[in-house]
Amino acid sequence: MGEIFTVAATCFTLILVGLVLGFGLLKIQGGEE
């Protein structure tokens, strides 16, 4: 049970970080251009 929770938490964190980084890059690119 602990393993599943760890994997789910890791996936959620990776997705969250990916969204934040992607949004940040889009904002930076939009501001530069």
Reading the chain (33 residues) residue by residue, the pLDDT tens digits are 789 999 999 999 999 999 999 999 998 888 766
- pTM for the model: 0.65
- Name the domain count of the chain: 1
Which residue reads 């990776």 in tokens?
14
pLDDT of residue 3: 94
1-33 residues labelled b (16+ CB within 10 A) or e (exposed):
eeeeeeeeeeeeeeeeeeeeeeeeeeeeeeeee
Structural domain of residue 13, as residue ranges? Answer: 1-33
